Amino acid sequence: MTSKFSARSVTLVCSLLLLATACSRNTETIPESRYVEPDKLYQTLEANVRANPEFELIVDIDHSRLAAKADSSMPPAHVLIWSDPELEAAILKHNPLAAVDLPLRALAFEDQGTGKAAVIANSYEYVARRHSLPQDEAIRARYDTAIAKTMKGIPDGAIARFPSDSMPEAGLVILESPHDFATTEKRILDAINAQSDTVNFGRVDFAARSKKHGVALQPTVLILFGGPGPGGKAMGSAPTLGLDAFCQKLLIWQDAGGTVRVTFNDLLALAERQKVSGGIPLRLINHRLKETFSTALGQ
């Protein structure tokens, strides 16, 4: 990474974080008693994933406790990201962009409306509508079964649902890379790792995983990362953003013609779909993501 890029990134990060801090100060200490019930629900989710041999636990992210370590504050919210590789291969065969909504995930959180612990996950209908997937009852049934197996033992009254299974638009930011796939991935990872407030949570190679299930994809890699401090501010009044908006999901993929693209979520579009407010923090993070990765690609 050049010194010019590093200086520009640092300047941008500092200005955005200063503005975010000025506009949104969440310094409340969350008492441990508020974590008890959400933690129980999370533990049920994790035990169910570990009990099913067709699943693979990818990562869990305890948004609230990570935010507290970064001197931010938000209600309890703990996301579990797990994989059903055969299901993912079947979905991505139709549209590789659906990888931004994969692997599967469920969020245990404190509902701000009721103050009670709840669990939420995306429906197959949402994924299918967002990515224009064809009607395929076998895929739908496997997706629904995967969610049901993971929710086993969660009381019906603790299962929350979003008000809508659709978005006005796909809500995706797509950047075209002038580089080959390997160079693009390196530049993106260098940009992520250069951010002092950002955690790299891992990488999912969907092409390699899908090949094991008879589906040949062009290179398709998902990077999971996030900033617990800025993310905590954005989720302060909207912990359900911890399912989709946080951590960040950045997809690097190549089409059949060899063009490489970088795709990630428009966080404001996700907030609109969930009918929650992320306010200025989400706008700042949106700007930061586009600026950082456009610069990394040399745009």
Q: Cis ω on the peptide bond leading into residue 14 (within 30° of 0)? A: no
pLDDT digits (tens, 9 = 90+) for 228-248: 999 999 999 999 999 999 999
Amino acid 161 reads: R
Please report which confidence band the pLDDT of residue 183 belongs to, taking 50, 70 and 90 as the band edges. Answer: very high
H/E run at residue 106 = strand 104-110
**Mean pLDDT in residue range 184-210:** 96
Checking if the pLDDT of 18 tops 70, the result is no
Residue 258 has phi, psi (to 5 degrees) of 95, -5
Which has the closest alpha carbon to 78: 231, 240, 215?
Answer: 240
pLDDT digits (tens, 9 = 90+) for 34-81: 999 999 999 999 999 999 999 999 999 999 999 999 999 999 999 999
pLDDT band, residue 299 (cuts 50/70/90): confident
Nearest to 91 by CA among 10, 206, 245: 206
Residues in Cβ contact with 119 at an 8 Å cutoff, skipping those fewer than 6 apart: 41, 45, 106, 107, 108, 109, 151, 154, 158, 159, 160
Residue 28 binned pLDDT confidence (cut-offs 50, 70, 90): confident
pLDDT, averaged across the chain: 91
Q: Which run of H or E residues covers position 184?
A: helix 181-193
Lowest mean pLDDT among 158-162, 163-167, 170-174: 163-167
Closest CA to 81 of 97, 109, 66, 62: 62
pLDDT confidence of 26, banded at 50, 70, 90?
low
- Using alpha carbons only, give the angle 202, 69, 243 rounded to the nearest 5 degrees: 50
Q: Which residue has the higher pLDDT, 269 or 20?
A: 269
One-letter amino acid identity for 250?
L
Q: What is the pLDDT of residues 88-116, one digit of tens each?
A: 999 999 999 999 999 999 999 999 999 99
Measured from the Cβ of residue 103, the count of other Cβ atoms closer than 10 Å reads 24
Q: How confident is the model at residue 166 (pLDDT cuts 50, 70, 90)?
A: confident
- The confidence score (pLDDT) of residue 22 equals 38
User: By three-state DSSP, how is residue 251 classified?
Assistant: strand
pLDDT of 106 reads 98
Residue 27 is predicted with a pLDDT of 63
pLDDT for residue 5: 34
List of domains in the chain: 3-296 (3.30.310.70)
Helix axes 181-193 and 279-296, enclosed angle (nearest 10): 130
